[in-house]
Homo-oligomer: A and B are copies of this chain.
Amino acid sequence: MTQTGSVKNVSRHAALGLSDERAVQMYEKMLLARKFDERAQLLQRAGKVNFHISGITQEPSQVAMTFAMDLEKDWFLPYYRDYGLVLSLGMTVKELMLSLFAKEEDPNSAGRQMPGHFGSKRLRIVTGSSPVTTQVPHAVGFALAAKMRGESSVSLVSFGEGSSNQGDFHEGCNFAGVMKLPVIFVCQNNGYAISVPFRKQSAGRIADRAIGYGFPGIRVDGNDPLEVYRVFREAHERALAGEGPTLIEIMTYRVTPHSTSDNDLAYRTKDEVDEHKALDSLPVFRQYLTDLGLWSDEQENELLARMRREIDEATQYGENAPFQAIEDAFRHVYAENADEGKGQ
């Protein structure tokens, strides 16, 4: 990652309107997502939890996109690899651990859903499910509500490239296109849908599908978080200006197996994986900050130590926290009193 920009001494992020502080915060969130993810993998291998699904190497772009959003007004519909995204929105490692251990205090689902199934009204994260791509029309519904109420709110919805082949992708995009709704459709193209490589998922480019819906589609390198930020900021501006949706295809690579239940070497080579691991943008971004004098090895070590403590504490908390009580396991099928859901 090298500096561009015509004015000397203006860093890339400054040229994009990001303060040094924000650039550093971005890095911190990326690192936190990475460290949480690594710990979750360890916990699964140690048999402490049943299942983890990783977002490793996708976090830098997940974090970068949130920096272009308005956390007070926008709505977020992430998918299961979006740890970088939800951490940037304010979900804590403790909350993620409560979800990983499926405990009652988990704000996402009280330990009912699998980890990676995010949801928190407080954080404007819309509850998600396992059947892929259903969240795409939901995001359009949030944008429609915003338009109807005259609110300047954008909805961001994220999904994999495999999932973009579901009918709901098409129906949602087309609906948003017709009504010029403020939605950012984010396809995180990591090359695989479980074992199926992209060339068996689609013969086109996902970004190009936007042409048929009458709005811009942009392909961006997921290993260049500042470029990701730039593209999202533009999409956000378009959305707020009433110019309608944008489809953004983030090119990335799934360096882990699909989930802890998957053996990826049954369908791809270690060489291929290693090649992509080498492209990880996390150390590159660290170097970028270091070169600018915004980051140092001491800061890194201090941050790592702080994160290790935070993650240790969260792990312990999550592990020891109680499961939802049996008496409550079947509650909330319907509202328990007529006033529920009357709010907003």
Q: Tell me if A208 and B203 are in contact (CB < 8 A).
A: no
Minimum Cβ distance to chain B for residue A52 (Å): 30
The reply to whether the CB of A214 lies closer than 8 angstroms to some CB of chain B is: yes
Q: Which of A168, A177, A214 has the most CB of B within 10 A?
A: A214
Minimum Cβ distance to chain B for residue A183 (Å): 13
Q: Tell me if B206 and A212 are in contact (CB < 8 A).
A: yes
As a 0/1 sequence over residues 203 to 241 of chain A, the CB contacts with chain B under 8 angstroms (1 = contact) are: 111101111111100000000000000000000000000
Bound-complex Cα distance A41 to B204 (A) = 44
Bound-complex Cα distance A180 to B206 (A) = 17
| Range, interface on chain A | 20 to 34
The reply to whether the CB of A167 lies closer than 8 angstroms to some CB of chain B is: yes
Q: Which of A166, A199, A201, A203 has the most CB of B within 10 A?
A: A203
Question: How many copies of the polypeptide does the oligomer hold?
Answer: 2
Bound-complex Cα distance A170 to B170 (A) = 6
- List of B residues within 8 angstroms of A302 by Cβ: none
Q: Tell me if B203 and A180 are in contact (CB < 8 A).
A: yes
The reply to whether the CB of A288 lies closer than 8 angstroms to some CB of chain B is: no
As a 0/1 sequence over residues 192 to 205 of chain A, the CB contacts with chain B under 8 angstroms (1 = contact) are: 00000001111111
Contact A211 B211, CB 8 Å, known A165-B171, A167-B167, A202-B178:
yes
Q: Which of A174, A209, A212 has the most CB of B within 10 A?
A: A212
The reply to whether the CB of A51 lies closer than 8 angstroms to some CB of chain B is: no
* A212 interface neighbour in B209, B214, B244, Cβ under 8 Å: B209
- List of B residues within 8 angstroms of A295 by Cβ: none
The reply to whether the CB of A317 lies closer than 8 angstroms to some CB of chain B is: no
- List of B residues within 8 angstroms of A178 by Cβ: 199-203
* A204 interface neighbour in B165, B171, B213, Cβ under 8 Å: B213
Binding site for B on A (CB under 8 A): 165-171, 174, 177-178, 180, 199-206, 208-215, 244
In the complex, besides A166-B167, A166-B170, A174-B203, 12 extra interface pairs with C-beta distance below 8 angstroms are: A167-B167, A167-B170, A177-B202, A177-B203, A178-B201, A178-B202, A202-B213, A203-B213, A205-B212, A208-B211, A208-B212, A209-B211
